[in-house]
Structure 1
Amino acid sequence: MRVAAVFTAYHPDERLAAAVEAALRSCASVIVVDNTPAGADGSDPVSSAPALAGPQVTVIAHGRNVGLGAALNIAVRELPADIEAVLFLDQDSELPPEIVPGLVADLDDAAVGIAAPSPWDPKHQRYYCSDARRTDGVSDEEAVITSGMLVRREVLAKVTFNEDMFLDWVDVAFCLDVRRAGWRIVIDWRLRLPHEIGACEVHTKFGRTVHYSHYPAWRLYWIGRNVSILHRGHFASRPRALASSLVFLGERLTNTLLFEPRRRTHVPALLRGFRDGFRERVDPRYLPAGAEHPAVRR
């Protein structure tokens, strides 16, 4: 099975070149979509790194931040004709050599549309998934995170990424659409992909230890907004899934109140996002600098 790796980049650093080099050891080609806005300050490793200039690497530096969903759709449209599956990776995801062969083997089952490794937090030496979910082999899942998921080409021909959601929960919405289209989604717990989710710090309060990712306020806005979108599109008729997303939102709100020093800006951002998702609106104040969204005219 010929596999292409797809990276989405945003103000990338030297880790992107290392990640691309690692991916080329297992994949036939690599596509990098750079969402860094034109004129952004700082170095430009996308165009200057030797690892990104080879014949197997396609770099799309379009000078705009169109969000994660749109960037992934751009990459899919650029896939070579002979590619049979796509491995989606973040710009800091340096690929262990056993991941691609293991996931390709999981796709031997024609019913599996997406196979993913278990995401691993290298900083705190822990799995992101709870102990209750882990097994010794492969398990069916409702959704997996974008980084590390291997997707059949035929799945991508029928299901696209949601561009309205811009960033957070794009992977969940995509996975739910894939399941709705009839494919299975699995995690192979024998495979572990190092991955850092946000600026995660460990906090202890009232005898409880919490791993809390400190995001900017605009990011919390999209987390709240897209929970509402998932409810409208997928969870309204599924009480268990809705309850799970609401629990997540409640935990995020509680932890922001407890552990975020900028709670005066961050709590309103989360709540406004949740409201705007139900209203099908986008508040342009919560787009990062240089970003574009189809619902906002500039």
Structure 2
Amino acid sequence: MARTRVRFVSLVALAALSAAVPLLAGCGSEDAPDPGRPAAGGRGPVVVATTTWEGAFAKAAGAEDVTVIVPRSVHHAPDYDPKPSDLAAVAEADFVLYAPFEPYAGKIKEAAGSKARLVEVNLDNDPARAGAEVARLGALFGTKDAAGRWKTRLDGEVARLNGELRSAWPGGRSPAVVTQVFTAWAADLAGATTVGTYGPEPVTPSQLASLSAKKPAYVLDNAHMSTGTVLPDAGARQIEIANYPGEDLDLLAVYRAAATELRKAMSGA
């Protein structure tokens, strides 16, 4: 079984690291001509990921040595401050993965060691997009075969979950849902009919009226960006969908967890 090492590095101390290691002037970028490849000696790439979401994409792509900066449990990343000794992981990385919407991405760039290649990750759990991104990372890492095997597992898991959820449709009909823009993939997983979307900003009074008028059976809310009850007077059941994997970095578990919540809601549990 592949070993995936998961460690957590302080964001607060990342800025301090930038003074101790070479900065971006000597750092590889995502557009660098040097192709991804396994590190010397046959070991896999050493990857630092800002969150468990990027870390899970790296693991799916075949990386076995993955260090995560921000634990899944931390909602305010700048408040997280573990041991400074963990900073060595950033300087030793072959790749540093981040997402552009993360407020601390700039600190990650500044703290990356001279040999680290910076890779912006398209974080999207839509199966087609996730599969394509894992394949891209596999090409960068030199782990295409592992990424291909994961894509096969993803396709099989999504097909299985979709079949189970369709069998659970109330009354045998596709339920109408309103979904937060970053959880639309879960509506597709269930074969639901999306009648409206919202976010990432809070719902405005005019949106509230418009979305409620569509009479959705369910509201799919983003557990990591929740603003509370979205349609309080619509009579719709709200389902919390998590995009971020756990500390095991198992991206497939995100689909299974979403399916469990959807199935419970559709069964009235």
TM over 0.5: no
Please state which structure has a larger fraction of its residues in helix: 2
Please state which structure has a larger fraction of its residues in strand: 1
With the length of structure 1 as denominator, give the TM-score of the two structures.
0.26
Greater C-alpha Rg: 2
With the length of structure 2 as denominator, give the TM-score of the two structures.
0.28
Structure with more contact order per residue of length (Cα contacts < 8 Å, sep ≥ 6): 2
